[in-house]
Chains A and B, each alone.
Chain A
Amino acid sequence: MLDPEQVRLDLSDLAGGPVTITGAASLGAQRSTLFVDYPVAGSSTAAVAQISTSVLQAVPTTLEAHILGLVHAAGVPVPEVLTAVDELPRIKLPAMVVTRVDGETVPRQILRSLPGPDAGHELARACGVAMARIHGIDPTLLPASLPSPTNDAFLATQTEVVNLLNEPRPVVRYAIEWLRQHPIADVNPVLVHGDFRNGNLAIDRGHLNAVLDWELTHRGDPMEDLAWFCLRTWRFGNDHAPAGGFGSLAALIEGYEQGGGTFRSEAFTWWSIARSVWWANGLASQGAAFSKGLTDLIVLAASGRRVPELEYDLLTLINQS
């Protein structure tokens, strides 16, 4: 657990002035999000401090901050970075402080707050436009240190993860092999958010105010973002609305093309299966951490029991392909 006083001292040193922690937005397994008053140009500003406690593969926080600057310049709605550091001296964890953005981030609240289906489709279009702007950034502007896995490397990593689980996962093995046997054409890699989904968006009355949580950003196939966004997991029970549980795929594609993107159906399906594999592995790894005695958090134990949903979805996709 984070010691709030140590965090406050670390952040105050970083700011060169007193920082006050005013509350906790979330204390997740991957990242703790704190509300803070942060000094900017002599006056106290409402901000959000994100302390990364992630065990997931993620880019360094300073690189994430650099990417936020790039996408902001490209017209993607994101919070403004006030400061970022890869290791705070006391708590030895990476931190980023950003301006506070209005809007709801809890998925079910977002779905409830939309005035009607048209608002959902409109929001899906806005998400499509935002993705197209991310993917449209000149790749020569991207830092060389940004991870850029090939599809083969992605699959090899997933095989490693299954092997490390040390429990039989025939469905995931089958799917990885299927993806190997049905390769899609490699495209010139572009900037990909990596975790663009309902839950990482700030929405204010149907308006997309910010795209959050860029720690999985990398260079890759743009269809990875669209596929991940449409995964059934992120529809929160609204299975009829593939785009985040609020919009149609058609609306998402419409926005994407309006923003200058090109939708590729085959790659979309490939990545829908590939990111289902990735998430099945992620959930199984959380469950395995419990089984191995590395954590006693019941929510992580419960993650292991969500794997069948992902496995059913990905086999259904394979069966239909």
Chain B
Amino acid sequence: MIDHPDPISLLEAMAKTLDEQVVPATSGGAKHQARVVANLCRIIARELATDDQPTQRDLADLLGCDGDLETLIRELDDRLRDGTAPDNTLPVLLADARRRAEIAKPGYTDA
């Protein structure tokens, strides 16, 4: 069973409600926190809508092994810690950082 509305629509609606209803009606710390929460809702919505398959593929190619995204990131982290990371690590990290920065702040990697 899949219930509706879907998570992304809900998160966007939550952000909109906070921005349009709660932020104007509050002040000081509460206003600031409402803005922060709205922003987090949008970040999570973008994260859910973003495909992390390319990162997983890049990491699998780079490391020459398989696994889910978290396993592969841990593997790269371990190899960096041991000083045994592959030579072409930078472009893979940069592509993934670009993807994550766009989730955190759309347009951030345009500049």
Chain A interface (Cβ < 8 Å from any Cβ of B): 27, 168-171, 173-174, 177, 239, 298-299, 301-302, 305-309, 311-312, 315-316, 318-319
Q: Known pairs A308-B100, A315-B90; list 9 more (Cβ under 8 Å).
A: A168-B74, A169-B77, A170-B73, A298-B37, A299-B36, A302-B36, A302-B39, A302-B40, A312-B100
Knowing A173-B81, A174-B93, A319-B90, say if A312 contacts B108 (CB, 8 Å).
Answer: yes
CB of A289 to closest CB in B, whole Å: 16
- Contact present for A173 and B109 (CB under 8 Å): no
Knowing A168-B77, A308-B97, A309-B101, say if A174 contacts B40 (CB, 8 Å).
Answer: no
Residues of A within 8 A of B73 (CB): 168, 170
Chain B interface (Cβ < 8 Å from any Cβ of A): 29, 32-33, 36-37, 39-40, 43, 70, 73-74, 76-77, 80-81, 83, 85, 89-90, 93-94, 97-98, 100-101, 103-105, 108-109, 111
Residues of B within 8 A of A173 (CB): 77, 80-81
- Contact present for B111 and A239 (CB under 8 Å): yes
How far, in angstroms, from A306 to B98 measured CA to CA in the complex? 13
A-B contact count (CB 8 A): 70
Give the dominant DSSP class at B's interface.
helix
Residues of A within 8 A of B111 (CB): 239
- Contact present for A305 and B97 (CB under 8 Å): no
Residues of A within 8 A of B77 (CB): 168-170, 173
Q: Which residue of A lies closest to B111 (CB)?
A: A239
How far, in angstroms, from A315 to B111 measured CA to CA in the complex? 14
Q: Which residue of B lies closest to A232 (CB)?
A: B111
How far, in angstroms, from A302 to B37 measured CA to CA in the complex? 8
- Contact present for B90 and A318 (CB under 8 Å): yes
Q: Which residue of A lies closest to B32 (CB)?
A: A299
Knowing A173-B80, A302-B40, say if A315 contacts B104 (CB, 8 Å).
Answer: no
Knowing A306-B104, A312-B101, say if A174 contacts B89 (CB, 8 Å).
Answer: yes
Residues of A within 8 A of B33 (CB): 298-299
- Contact present for B100 and A311 (CB under 8 Å): yes
